[in-house]
Amino acid sequence: MDAPRARLLCVIIPCFDEAEVLEHTYAELKRVLATLPGYRHLLYFVDDGSRDATLAKLNQLARRDDTVRVLSLTRNFGHQAAISCGLDHADRRADAVLVMDADLENPPVLIPHMLQELEAGHDVVMGVRETGRQVGLLRRLGSRSFYWLFNQLSDVPITPAAPDFFVLSPRAREALAKLGEQRRFLRAMVAWLGFPIRHLPYVPPARAHGRSKYTLPRMLRLSEDALFAFSSAPPRILMRLGSLTFVLGTLLLAFGTYRQLSGAAASLPLLSGLLVLLSGIHVAALGVVAGYVVRALEESRGRPLYLLKQAPDERTGEARLVEVLGRNADPQRKRA
């Protein structure tokens, strides 16, 4: 009687200037994955236009380990695009696809528990950070404020402190692949799918080497993309605020007219303040509308989410240079 087929786990690790930590990440991943009974694995490292020796180190790993696959983008397209690249190119026969960062703040020791929950019937298993090591006050307050605001405005609530550290079943991965937007916020996209999600808490360890590449401007840009992509509340709020200021302006105008007719001096500070308030609301409204228009324009252009300059050979897994290849030309979609 034939032995049961080992399940295939594909691990997607986006990398941007992570040369210092790659060897440690690889060793820790291999140590944990070697303990998984009934699973074989492939590691998909996605170089997101790194400026250091990340790509060279990844290619060294691929030459000595045939489970390592290296994808390299032509430039820095961003964390969400790099993850999407890995999801697009991971083996279609995979029984589970795991996404994690390269800095080991998503601990590999949680992987066996995530797979157990997947086997128990959950289509999505997501790690959730608990308070552990000290995080900067500004970053902590910014994160909490964003999650609160997002869940107040969005029709798709997400769990606070849940990073892009999750494992997908085949049907969840297939459903996620149908979402083709350019500006991506994957943890909300995964929640939007509606599949059962199991959350596993963990305490993030300190980075082994290097510094976080998620700078404040990157976090703000991701926050904007998330709110514009999953909420239509800002225009509604501004419309109501505009109606309120219209009523307030009408009342103040009537009050000023009354004072002038009665011979009293006009209240110039009050009227000036109202003018400044209305101008600020107009500018904010234009900014919100422009944000939606710009994103609609980007979607209508039809540009690929990313471009590849290097991809693994489909048959051998060896790194090869490719013609500039976009997401819509994914070679694995041609397989039967």
pLDDT in tens, the chain (336 residues): 455 678 999 999 999 999 999 999 999 999 999 999 899 999 999 999 999 999 999 999 999 999 999 999 999 999 999 999 999 999 999 999 999 999 888 999 999 999 999 999 999 999 998 865 555 666 667 667 777 777 677 777 777 778 899 999 999 999 999 998 888 889 889 989 999 899 999 988 776 666 666 665 666 676 666 666 666 667 667 667 766 766 776 776 676 666 666 766 555 666 666 666 677 777 777 777 777 777 777 777 778 889 999 988 766 666 666 655 666 544 444 333
- Residue 333 has what pLDDT? 42
Per-position b or e across 67-99, b if 16+ CB within 10 A of its CB: bbbbbbbeebbbbbbbbbbbbbbbbeebbbbbb
- Residue 144 has what pLDDT? 73
Which of 243, 274, 277, 282 lies closest to 256 in space, CA to CA?
A: 274
- Residue 249 has what pLDDT? 67
For residue 190, the Cα-to-chain-centroid distance in whole angstroms is: 10
Residue 157 DSSP symbol: -
Provide φ and ψ at 287, rounded to 5°.
Answer: -65, -40
Between vectors from CA 267 to CA 261 and to CA 273, what angle results, nearest 5°?
135
Q: Which residues contact 91 (CB under 8 A, 6 or more apart)?
A: 8, 10, 42, 332
On whether the CB atoms of residues 165 and 99 are closer than 8 A, the answer is yes
- Residue 54 has what pLDDT? 95
Whole-prediction pTM: 0.78
Which of 334, 289, 325, 287 lies closest to 307 in space, CA to CA?
A: 325
Largest pairwise CA distance in the chain: 104
Distance separating alpha carbons of residues 37 and 106, to the nearest angstrom: 21
Per-position b or e across 206-227, b if 16+ CB within 10 A of its CB: ebeeeeebeeeeeeeebbebbb
Token pair of 234 as six digits: 């800002």
- Residue 152 has what pLDDT? 73
- Residue 272 has what pLDDT? 64
Under DSSP, is residue 129 helix (H, G, I), strand (E, B) or coil? strand
On whether the CB atoms of residues 230 and 156 are closer than 8 A, the answer is yes
Under DSSP, is residue 211 helix (H, G, I), strand (E, B) or coil? coil
- Residue 123 has what pLDDT? 96
- Residue 46 has what pLDDT? 97
